[in-house]
Amino acid sequence: MNDEGDLLQENTRDEGNETEASRMSKLRRTRKKVTKQHIFSTEVGEMDVSNSKDNTWEDTQIPTTPHLSSRMKHIKQEMAKNHLQFVRFEATDLHGVSRSKSIPAHFFQEKVIHGVCMPRGYLELIPNPKDDEVDHIRATCFNSDIVLMPELSTFRVLPWAERTARVICDTFTVTGEPLLTSPRYIAKRQLSQLQDSGFSLLSAFIYDFCIFAVPEIINSKTISFPASTLLNNHDQPFIQELVDGLYHTGANVESFSSSTRPGQMEICFLPEFGISSADNAFTLRTGVKEVARKYNYIASFFIETGFCNSGILSHSLWDVDGKKNMFCSSSGIEELTITGKKWLAGLLKHSAALSCLMAPAVSCRKRYSKESKDLKESVPTTWGYNDNSCAFNIKCHGEKGTRIENKLGSATANPYLVLAATVAAGLDGLQSSDGVLASPGDSTDLYPSKPSEIPLKLEDALVALEEDQCLRQALGETFIRYFVAMKKYDLENEETDAERNKFLEYFI
């Protein structure tokens, strides 16, 4: 296991590839581009974000009718074939939990064009604010509606819900601007930045979750009796139905297994390019709960002791065409390339702020201290080759090629925010002046400003997020304000038992 300083002592090798040098040059130019401003509605203006850096249309706009027609024909055939009665319009809230409205199937085409309205507070989750409590969020703005606009490529018949389909939605204000606090919008924007820089991301989530038998409640607080019999053959129908159902929703499971605790399972998705990996994780978070209930089980992303399960993002950087893994050395040596080292340096540099988004509850952060009783305020950010104990584990074996496992995350983190923040930190590492290769002949080492530490307290992680200018710019001032306000409210109003009960109820 290495700390951050070890990364910087490695001898960098000349990769001898002009395309990489030109890609780095393109990356630096891309980061300096002036993004096109769009006109805000009165609603957004009330949020005092007129000068924020995230006021851009980007590529997310409400689709026009001609754009819809090509997919609608296929969808209508699916609806008729499966005798569908209802379609769920789903969107993620800030926690990554699905919020949806279901509509009768015969209204689907109309709603595709005009969208489905939902109270804004359902997604942003901040208790009804007053001007003197949260001065940057106006109560009149918070109480407005937003519009769910479906991304038709995500339309799937749900195997675990009778005669029902779902479609994942992007969210807009009533005047047509993207909702700047939408985790999916933020992730798509970062992936667009990555593409503009000449790269693409191949990624997959690896989740742990627990399966509980029909619960017994002790003092209205404790859920007991994990379903350890899940390891036996006669309980295989549950996991088989879940895996098969995920496949039919477009989320391909590469493997599944029992994990370290009774009733604890691990599920690994097949790597995919773009936003699909986060969509797959989002689908699992709801699907596993629905299938579990059919078997009189309860699925939870919390362990019975109140700790969070892990949620790992395994990812690798590829060229924009998806043909070359930019982490793999052409020499065949099991070592990160210069590009890979710079990407990793960005993750290490921003690890404190990343941890706030990836372990967003007090109980999630207990994992960082390895359940140690030593009183520490932070722990070093570790990385290593093929070392599962590290925060960033570089795997160089297998048919997938070299990849980095970001293990800061818990299974309760929003997968879209995990994806977006990882890309933002990695991009900053690529464009950093420290260790940038000016030409293929350079062999500049990577030098850090200071070693990275992961705060153990959520309060300290929130401070790190607020002070991280790179992530503030990448994720947007509006999102950072909402997220920090939400977490501060949670901290001010939680007790240990109350938090545990809240998350068990909310995430089940």
How confident is the prediction along the chain (508 residues), in pLDDT tens digits per residue?
A: 555 445 444 444 444 444 555 555 555 554 444 333 332 332 333 333 333 334 333 444 445 555 557 788 899 999 999 999 999 999 999 888 899 999 999 999 999 999 999 988 888 865 444 444 444 444 445 678 899 999 999 999 999 999 999 999 999 999 899 999 999 999 999 999 999 999 999 999 999 888 877 554 444 444 444 444 444 444 678 888 999 999 999 999 998 887 766 677 889 999 999 999 999 999 999 999 899 888 888 888 876 555 667 889 999 999 999 999 999 876 666 788 999 999 999 999 999 999 999 988 877 777 777 655 666 788 889 999 988 889 999 998 766 688 999 998 888 899 999 999 999 999 999 988 654 332 333 344 454 556 788 998 899 999 999 999 999 999 999 999 989 988 888 787 665 445 555 445 454 4
Helix (H, G, I), strand (E, B) or coil at 463: helix
The rounded Cα 229 to chain-centroid distance in angstroms is: 31
Query: How high is the pLDDT of residue 87?
Result: 96
Residues 312 and 415: their CA atoms lie apart, in Å, by: 10
380 touches 482 (CB < 8 A): no
DSSP strand E in 111-185: where?
116-119, 145-150, 156-157, 164-173
Question: Cα dihedral angle (369, 307, 464, 40), rounded to 10 degrees?
Answer: 160
Q: Phi and psi (nearest 5°) for 268? A: -115, 130
Q: Phi and psi (nearest 5°) for 296? A: 60, 35
**Nearest of 210, 147, 95 to residue 487 by alpha carbon:** 95
96 touches 283 (CB < 8 A): no
Query: How high is the pLDDT of residue 489?
Result: 80
Compute CA distances 410 → 65, 157, 207, 301, whole Å. Answer: 40, 29, 8, 9
Question: Cα dihedral angle (474, 479, 484, 485), rounded to 10 degrees?
Answer: 160
Query: How high is the pLDDT of residue 398?
Result: 62
Helix (H, G, I), strand (E, B) or coil at 348: helix
3 touches 451 (CB < 8 A): yes
Q: How many CB atoms lie within 10 A of CB 58?
A: 17
Residues 303 and 499: their CA atoms lie apart, in Å, by: 14
- Kindly give, in sequence order, each residue whose CB lies less than 8 Å from that of residue 443, ignoring residues fewer than 6 positions away: 11, 12, 13, 14
SS3 percent helix, strand, coil of the chain, rounded to 5, is 40, 20, 40
Query: How high is the pLDDT of residue 297?
Result: 84
Residues 246 and 340: their CA atoms lie apart, in Å, by: 32
Which residue do the tokens 């204000």 mark?
173
Q: Where do the H-state alpha helices sit in 374-457? A: 415-431
Q: Whole-prediction pTM value? A: 0.81
Helix (H, G, I), strand (E, B) or coil at 488: helix
- Taking the CA of residue 160 as centre, how many other CA atoms within 13 Å lie in the half-sphere pointing to its CB? 23
**Nearest of 494, 409, 103 to residue 506 by alpha carbon:** 494
Compute CA distances 381 → 84, 139, 345, 409, 427, whole Å. Answer: 49, 39, 11, 13, 19
Residues 110 and 103: their CA atoms lie apart, in Å, by: 11
Query: How high is the pLDDT of residue 223?
Result: 43
Compute CA distances 334 → 5, 182, 323, 326, whole Å. Answer: 20, 38, 19, 13
Residues 172 and 58: their CA atoms lie apart, in Å, by: 13
